[in-house]
Structure 1
Amino acid sequence: MNWEQLLSAKRWGYEDRYNADQADARSEFQRDYDRLIFSSPFRKLQNKTQVFPLPGSVFVHNRLTHSLEVASVGRSLGRIFYNKIKSQEPAIDTRLPLLAEVGDIIAAACLAHDLGNPAFGHSGEAAISYYFTDGPGKIYKDRVTEHQWKDLINFEGNANALRILIHPFNGRGNGSFALTYSTLASIAKYPCASVIGGNKAQLHQKKYGFFQSEQQDFEKVAQELGIAKVQDSPVVYKRHPLVYLVEAADDICYNIIDLEDAHRLNILSYQEVEDLLLPLCNSANMPKYLADMDDEDAKVSYMRARAINSLIKECSDIFYKEQDSIMKGDFNHSLIDVLDEPFRSIMKKISGVSVKKIYNYPSVVQIEVAGYKVMGGLLEEFIPAYLVNNSKYHSKLVELIPKQFLTKATDDYSKIQTVLDFVSGMTDLYAVELFRKIKGISFPSLG
């Protein structure tokens, strides 16, 4: 793989209008960022659970604030990489004019990385999968292909994000978001089909990155950018190099910021958080700075900022040093997993504390359990209604599905995806309210 081909401002759905020399106030990749910021799927992230239930009397992060912070970190990672390259090759802008914009590409990809996550955090993904593996959805196994069934029983937010960005939903035009090829490729953490995803020995196959419905679309992007292909069937590609920086930005943010939220909710004491964050700050003067502060929240925020800054520097150094391996597609680690000591051990310790004390905290588990009931309940109503539609009740349910999601396709896989597009795009609050109304638990207001 080479940067000359990997960096492209060609737009999905508008390839014939591509103009690399177009002069404007914004670059093509800044346009990507702005299109995402102003989009409805992005706005909906403000009411989708990150970790802790929403809303609450104490501010905690949601998917939207998380995505904005990840984008900020990602932009810094990209900018540092460009500066390192330019320091070694001052005339790099002549040879690679788009390299200066890798920070904007990464920032846009970071904004989009969670667009496909359903309500109720990662439990929403599991709830959708459970409907097909252990719920009423088991009956559809013989009505779809083996590969399509794998999509359904392992519903993946990463693949769903790509679908949201490129699928021609009704009324959006063929290009949907019409993002650049490089931005689209930079969100594909696991560029393989679902039937072969789940191979934890290979980072790019740990999960999967596209549904069967978008496989040809992803292949078109990958071929245009010269992304290394591993095999044709099932389809497997190596990662676009910038995926490593998008992934690192996400890893840095959720590991560090979940601690800050846990402290605000009194799940972790100040001392517990200080013991975890202070070693990451990489500053002998930090204890003195902290001693001058009276507010514990302010202390945690300061350590959070310094810790993130240290991790950005460490991850950018690794990305630069491992360029040969990354460009060959042979680098089989996330950047956060190969940090130098003591950072690596500290991050593993943070991960352990997070699993034990944060992700298994009662309110977090409760929202996960509620997610199973709500998401499963919606699917058991809407999927039979849309596939069968042989009663007035079914017809009324179908009328609740926005027209943008409806399909002219007649196969069951496409129809099931219509319902999944609708349900996975719901916010936590809307999903709960709709579930209560169609189950007769509450009644809609006439006001």
Structure 2
Amino acid sequence: MNWEQLLSTKRSRGSSGKNRYGKNTDLRSEFEKDYHRIIGSASFRRLQDKTQVFPLDKSDFIRTRLTHSLEVSSFAKSLGQNIGENILVYKKDPSFTPRMKEDICSILQCAGLIHDIGNPPFGHFGESAIREWFERNLPRMEFHGVTIDKALTPQMREDFYHFEGNAQALRLVTKLHFLVDENGMNLTYALLNTIVKYPVPSTGIDEKSGDIKDKKMGYYFADEEIFEEIAAETGTNGRRHPLTFILEAADDIAYKTADIEDAFIKGFISYHKLLEELTALQERYPDEEMGSFRPADKLEQLYARGREMQMQKPEEYAIKNWIIKVQGFLINCATYGFTCHYNEIMEGEYRHDLFQGTFAEKLMDLLGSMAFEEVFLTETIYRMEVAEAAMIDFLMDKFMKAIVYYDDETRKLDSIGERMVSFISSNYKKAYHYHAEGKSEVEKLYLRLLLVTDYICGMTDSYAKRLYHELKAII
């Protein structure tokens, strides 16, 4: 792979940026234009009311998908600056230019903003609830006398059984943001390929391969054509785009540190619990494996400083400032991980994340396991998730029942079905009709099922809850 091709500015629908006299009136780079398209979109704004960890939380401190995405965007751009400068200074690639460094930063800044844009309401549990709904119901629902799991092709069926917010993000920005035409936000191909974390279809998932790119599905059968066009244009052809590794590292840094901070504010994790876990980690590894960053010592130092400054809550002062120090350390580790494995990444042969084999990997694992055990396995979160599942299941039941024979000339929808379909966004229905034209009945059915997941994924937490209450006649 080479950077000139990887940083392709091609869009599905091109634009000249020139006025009627042929003069270029827009001095922004193509990737800077992407940034403004994203932040001006309704899909991006809706992230402010989507769950990161704590759904429908009343606190204005706790992160949402929007604030998380802004943090990922910031970390990704910082990593791009560090890595781009390293490539230039150490002459790792003679074709790499200062302008390419600027473009990398712009792409990563945009990718951070949209990496979660396809996620359904109620966070990652919402994804699980949708997957499990399909596993339970596709073998029971019928289409012209055949169960839907049998009517669909294997890839179509596996798309639903492995429903994935990452694949939904590509679908949203390329097709569903239907304002000007069928090209969605019409973003650059370099940016679109950066957000494809897993460049395999649902039938290509192989969690045992040892290659990070095979862990999950990266695109739906419905979006295979645009994915292949993007991959061919950027020269990745089945391999991960190098910037995807950087985006993933930024995402990991953001959520694993933020989950600890949010959990502390919500009372799930105490200062003393965090210190205890970090001390145990620090004692397990000698100094040469840890480098200069000793996480437990740093936390204690910050607590002592908080006491000296007579802070009202020295524990809170220590943890919040410790998070900032950790983020800086992890950015340095990810920079090292990319530049150390530069040739493997550019050849498409690197199979791990950027923290593999470093002390940062051990620290990230600890933070992740703490959040999982102290937050996600608690009764409080379980109660929220059971309520969320009830809402997702009800909405999927009502809309899927109505959509199976929508746009089918042999069946007429009943009065409730007509009303359910009328609730679905006209933009999404317009996109469905455009892409369903000329397709077989089975592929139309597949696209109709996607139409429901498109609509539900576009809902905010509050809207999903409100619609559930309205349809259940809960006053």
Report the CA distance shift for 1:255/1:90 in structure 2 as closer, same or farther (over 3 A). Answer: closer
Residue in 2 that maps onto 1:384? 401
State the secondary structure of the residue aligned to 2:269: coil
CA contact (8 A) 1:68 1:111 kept: yes
Shift of 1:366: 2.1
Q: Distance in 2 between matches of 1:90 and 1:324?
A: 9
CA contact (8 A) 1:114 1:161 kept: yes
Q: Distance in 2 between matches of 1:91 and 1:25?
A: 28
CA contact (8 A) 1:277 1:303 kept: no
Residue in 2 that maps onto 1:431? 464
Shift of 1:346: 2.2
Aligned pairs (5 A) from 1:291-440: 291-293=304-306, 294=311, 295=313, 296-338=315-357, 340-341=358-359, 343-388=360-405, 390-406=413-429, 407-408=432-433, 409=436, 411-440=444-473
Q: Distance in 2 between matches of 1:321 and 1:298?
A: 35
Segment drifting more, 278-287 vs 180-189: 278-287
Q: Which amino acid aligns with 1:163?
A: R
Q: Distance in 2 between matches of 1:172 and 1:265?
A: 43
Aligned pairs (5 A) from 1:142-161: 142-161=150-169
Q: Distance in 2 between matches of 1:70 and 1:263?
A: 20
Segment drifting more, 146-155 vs 46-55: 46-55
Aligned pairs (5 A) from 1:21-60: 24-57=26-59, 59-60=61-62
Aligned pairs (5 A) from 1:280-299: 282=293, 287-293=300-306, 294=311, 295=313, 296-299=315-318
State the secondary structure of the residue aligned to 1:250: helix
CA contact (8 A) 1:32 1:108 kept: yes
**Partner deviation per Cα, 1:43-75 (whole Å, 9 max, x = no partner):** 111111111122224621111110100110000
Q: Distance in 1 between matches of 2:193 and 2:331?
A: 22
Report the CA distance shift for 1:168/1:432 in structure 2 as closer, same or farther (over 3 A). Answer: closer
CA contact (8 A) 1:118 1:425 kept: yes
Q: Which amino acid aligns with 2:3?
A: W
Residue in 1 that maps onto 2:199? 191
Residue in 2 that maps onto 1:14? 13
Q: Distance in 1 between matches of 2:301 and 2:100?
A: 43
CA contact (8 A) 2:127 2:163 kept: yes
1:70 aligns with 2:83: no
Give the length in aligned residue pairs: 430
Q: Distance in 2 between matches of 1:113 and 1:372?
A: 23
Segment drifting more, 67-76 vs 411-420: 411-420
Residue in 2 that maps onto 1:260? 261
CA contact (8 A) 2:302 2:317 kept: no
CA contact (8 A) 1:248 1:334 kept: yes
Q: Which amino acid aligns with 1:352?
A: S
Residue in 2 that maps onto 1:163? 171
TM-score, length basis structure 1: 0.90
Residue in 2 that maps onto 1:131? 133
Q: Distance in 1 between matches of 2:298 and 2:416?
A: 67
Q: Which amino acid aligns with 1:433?
A: R
Q: Distance in 1 between matches of 2:130 and 2:192?
A: 25
CA contact (8 A) 2:108 2:247 kept: yes
Q: Which amino acid aligns with 1:418?
A: L
CA contact (8 A) 2:299 2:319 kept: no
Report the CA distance shift for 1:390/1:14 in structure 2 as closer, same or farther (over 3 A). Answer: closer
Segment drifting more, 47-56 vs 284-293: 284-293
Q: Distance in 2 between matches of 1:285 and 1:60?
A: 24
Q: Distance in 2 between matches of 1:285 and 1:438?
A: 52
Q: Distance in 2 between matches of 1:252 and 1:243?
A: 14
1:244 aligns with 2:255: no
CA contact (8 A) 1:127 1:376 kept: yes
Tell which structure's C-alpha radius of gyration is larger: 2
CA RMSD of superposed structures (Å)? 2.5
Residue in 2 that maps onto 1:233? none
Report the CA distance shift for 1:23/1:16 in structure 2 as closer, same or farther (over 3 A). Answer: closer
CA contact (8 A) 2:115 2:166 kept: yes
Shift of 1:383: 1.5
Q: Distance in 2 between matches of 1:378 and 1:434?
A: 8
Report the CA distance shift for 1:2/1:277 in structure 2 as closer, same or farther (over 3 A). Answer: farther
State the identity %: 33
Residue in structure 2 matching 1:222, options 226, 231, 239: 231
CA contact (8 A) 2:428 2:451 kept: yes
Q: Distance in 1 between matches of 2:93 and 2:216?
A: 39
Q: Distance in 1 between matches of 2:258 and 2:300?
A: 20
Residue in 2 that maps onto 1:3? 3
Report the CA distance shift for 1:429/1:336 in structure 2 as closer, same or farther (over 3 A). Answer: same
Q: Distance in 1 between matches of 2:63 and 2:181?
A: 33
CA contact (8 A) 1:74 1:107 kept: yes
